[in-house]
Amino acid sequence: MRILVAEDDALLAEGLTRLLTKAGHGVDRVKDGNGADSALRATPYELLVLDIGLPDIDGFEVLRRLRQRRSQTNVLVLTARDAVEDRVHGLESGADDYLVKPFALAELIARVKVLTRRHRSRQGSVLSMADLRMDLEARRAWIGEQPLELSSREWAVLEYLLSRVGHVVGKEQILQAISGWDDALSENAVEVYVSRLRPKIEPAGLRIRAVRGFGYLVEEVPGGASAPARA
């Protein structure tokens, strides 16, 4: 998932970013409420990890504005406030889950996994095209009955392409989908991941075609098997 961490404690924010990135997510982070609001308006995040005690505008206001825009972004609230009324207020304001500081990192990851499954159930958890199938929840892929081994970046690029079958996607779009603000990735990195993916998906009857000046398009090789589907 693409995740935004809104936390003003620099040490905690860095730890969360490192942990979530290691779990395979693209993570951005901001340190105040206005920054969170601006980032959420500009980028379609799947998950917001939101500290309530943010400078400028607090987390409750960030959450209120997010839901006012009818955003479906999942929200995991982090707060030092453990009063029942605060937790109720957060949930009634549109939070999906609530975690009181201090918390165990293992518990946070477990809650993120639950919210990931919730997101996948809304979006569809299996992508398939020709003989290729990707189970987004289990993070496993197959060509026919044979497992397909992918690095985390290759997985992210292929998932992005398959979720936009029939559309040409630009390098910058792919870059935004697979990396956080702190990642030192360039459009050349996208080219590398695409070149690695091409021979891996050829046995499935698929190819990634470069459309000059626009980006990439995943398509079936003429004479290949079935039409794209999402379960």
The predicted model gives 198-225 an average pLDDT of 87
For the chain, the structural domain boundaries read 2-122, 126-230
Instruction: Give the model's confidence band at 119: pLDDT under 50 very low, under 70 low, under 90 confident, else very high.
Output: low
- Of 48, 6, 49, 51, the C-alpha closest to 31 is 6
Which among 95, 98, 112, 128 has a CA at the least distance from the CA of 24? Answer: 112
Q: Name the range with the highest mean pLDDT among 49-63, 90-104, 163-177.
A: 49-63
Q: Which CATH superfamily is domain 2-122 in?
A: Response regulator (3.40.50.2300)
Q: Does the bond joining 199 to the residue before it have cis omega, within 30 degrees of 0?
A: no
Candidates 206, 171, 199, 196; CA nearest to 186 is 171
pLDDT, tens digit, 9 for 90 and up, residues 146-195: 999 998 889 889 988 988 888 888 888 888 777 765 566 777 888 999 99
Beta bridge mates, 126? 135
| Average pLDDT, rounded, for the chain | 85
Among 3-17, 37-51, 85-99, 173-187, the range scoring the smallest mean pLDDT is 173-187
Pairing of β 74-79 and β 47-51: parallel
Residue 228 confidence (pLDDT) above 70: no
16-42: burial string, b at 16+ Cβ within 10 Å, e else: bbebbbeeebbbbbbbbbebbbebbee
| The pTM of the whole model exceeds 0.75 | no
Which two structure tokens, joined as six digits, stand for 32?
A: 């105040």
Q: Does domain 126-230 have CATH number 3.40.50.970?
A: no
**Model confidence at 207, in pLDDT bands (50, 70, 90)?**
very high
Q: Taking 60 as the threshold, does the pLDDT of residue 23 lie above it? A: yes
Per-residue DSSP letters for 109-138?
A: HHHHHHHHHHHHHHH-SEEEETTEEEETTT
pLDDT band at 230, cuts 50/70/90? very low
Contacts of 109 (CB under 8 A, 6+ apart): 19, 20, 23
Backbone angles phi, psi at 101, to 5 degrees: -75, 145
Decide if 2-122 and 126-230 have a common fold: no
Mean pLDDT over 107-129 rounds to 77
Q: Which residues contact 34 (CB under 8 A, 6 or more apart)?
A: 56, 57
Confidence at residue 56, expressed as pLDDT on a 0 to 100 scale: 92
Asked if residues 52 and 63 have their Cβ atoms less than 8 Å apart, the reply is no
